[in-house]
Chain A
Amino acid sequence: MIGVGKMKLYSNVLDRPLSKGKQEVSLSAFAFLFSEMVQYNQTQVDNIAELERRLEDAGYAVGARVLELLCHREKGNRRETRLLGILSFVHSTVWKVLFGKVADSLEKGTEHEDEYMISEKELLVNRFISIPKDMGTFNCGAFVAGIVRGVLDNAGFPAVVTAHFVPVEGQQRPRTTILIKFAEEVLRREARLG
């Protein structure tokens, strides 16, 4: 029957029309899936650094695909070439599409020229996660750090991205900061572009 399944009509996945991105699933479905991912990775590693690295690698793959999807859908295939441009793309567009709101803040690091920070009061992925004391500074936001690294790397802005908890006065749960440290070449290129 023609038209029964919209996927069958196209033999090549690239020929299918791109969805508008408005479809939603429940937060709990995502939370369950994320928790299973963290639990599975815990069985595969011996220490916290490895666990963070694995979550980051998973996020990197997501980030690469998110960049392609959003560049095509939201920005009409225009490519960002400036540092502030790509940062505001991540802070606004990427965050809005993935988490439903723009990130809480975007700041430039005061100590180093190549550091920028995106802060969020409560990362979506961390909402139902509590870290036991013996895991120290482990942050499941490493997944989101991976997504940001994936977006930046594939856009031509290689960087080291990490997630940190920053305790805030008067708030029970600490704020999460995604720290982005750009590579030398990015800063040199940015200086050359003026």
Chain B
Amino acid sequence: MPPVAPRSGDAIFTSVERVNAELFTLTYGAIVRQLLTDLEEVDEVNKQLDQMGYNIGIRLIDEFLAKSNVSRCVDFKETAEVIAKVGFKMFLGVTATVTNWDADGTTCSLVLEDNPLVDFVELPDTCQGLYYCNILSGVIRGALEMVSMKTEVTWIRDMLRGDDAFEMQVKLLKQVPEEYPYKDDE
């Protein structure tokens, strides 16, 4: 069977079922509000959002690979491009741009101009340390870990704190070769 060509983010987005972004935005806001009431500490909320994102990411990667038909990425550069162009478009309906590559190609920035998670949101003074979109960093970390890449994702720019865009720095820590789960002699 000839290999199926990878589909563009737009094509996949139009073919999947979609829901109103406002329902998504408001539900996410309700989650953050619940976390803030329960945990009270902004750092705890950041960690919990990252953990929730991680849980989503490890399952999201399956759907991503199934629907997008991308072939194995040759290097981290291609991985970042695929996440920005296909991944974000497929799930959130927006594309990101990849910038700020460092010398050895292990760190880059994903820049989001448009972010459906933060419509109607403003951070009050009591929550200035909150990374509202931290779930996204967890999703990327979880998804990449399932394809053998250990990464660290941090926020560089955050529009809710007054910057002009959302920028995440994705740093590849190491490639973990896939472990064969069974011993050969058993």
Residue B44 CB within 8 A of the other chain: no
Do residues A124 and B31 form an inter-chain contact, with CB atoms below 8 A?
A: no
Do residues B21 and A26 form an inter-chain contact, with CB atoms below 8 A?
A: no
Do residues B30 and A59 form an inter-chain contact, with CB atoms below 8 A?
A: yes
Residue A110 CB within 8 A of the other chain: no
Instruction: Give the shortest distance, in Å, between A24 (CB) and chain B (any CB).
Output: 4
A contact residues around B113 at 8 Å (CB): 5
Q: Which residue from chain A places its CB closest to the CB of B164 in the assembled complex?
A: A5
Residue B77 CB within 8 A of the other chain: no
Do residues A26 and B34 form an inter-chain contact, with CB atoms below 8 A?
A: no
Return the contact of A7 from the options B16, B93, B135, B159 (Cβ within 8 A): B159
B contact residues around A54 at 8 Å (CB): 34
Complexed CA–CA distance, A50 and B110 (Å): 40
Over the window 36-49 of chain B, the binary record of Cβ atoms lying under 8 Å from chain A Cβ atoms (1 yes, 0 no) is: 00100000000010
**A24-B20, A33-B24, A36-B52 given; A19·B119 CB < 8 A:** yes
Residue B56 CB within 8 A of the other chain: yes
B contact residues around A4 at 8 Å (CB): 164-165
Complexed CA–CA distance, A26 and B162 (Å): 28
How many residue pairs at the A-B interface have CB separations less than 8 Å? 123
What class of interface size applies to chain A in its complex with B? Answer: 35 or more
What class of interface size applies to chain B in its complex with A? Answer: 35 or more
Do residues A58 and B31 form an inter-chain contact, with CB atoms below 8 A?
A: yes
**A24-B93, A27-B17, A61-B33 given; A34·B116 CB < 8 A:** no
**A13-B121, A65-B120 given; A25·B24 CB < 8 A:** yes
Within 8 A of A (CB), among B1-26: 13, 16-24, 26
Over the window 71-115 of chain A, the binary record of Cβ atoms lying under 8 Å from chain B Cβ atoms (1 yes, 0 no) is: 000000000000000000000000001111000000000000000
Complexed CA–CA distance, A10 and B113 (Å): 15
Do residues B30 and A61 form an inter-chain contact, with CB atoms below 8 A?
A: yes
Residue B154 CB within 8 A of the other chain: no
Complexed CA–CA distance, A5 and B138 (Å): 24
Do residues B92 and A29 form an inter-chain contact, with CB atoms below 8 A?
A: yes
Complexed CA–CA distance, A99 and B18 (Å): 10
Q: Which residue from chain B places its CB closest to the CB of A23 in the assembled complex?
A: B21
Complexed CA–CA distance, A13 and B119 (Å): 9
Q: Which residue from chain A places its CB closest to the CB of B57 in the assembled complex?
A: A32
Residue B78 CB within 8 A of the other chain: no
Closest 7 CB pairs of A and B: A5-B164, A24-B18, A23-B21, A13-B122, A58-B30, A27-B17, A29-B91
Q: Could you give 10 example pairs across A and B, Cβ below 8 Å?
A: A5-B164, A23-B22, A25-B93, A28-B60, A32-B60, A36-B56, A37-B30, A61-B33, A98-B20, A98-B23
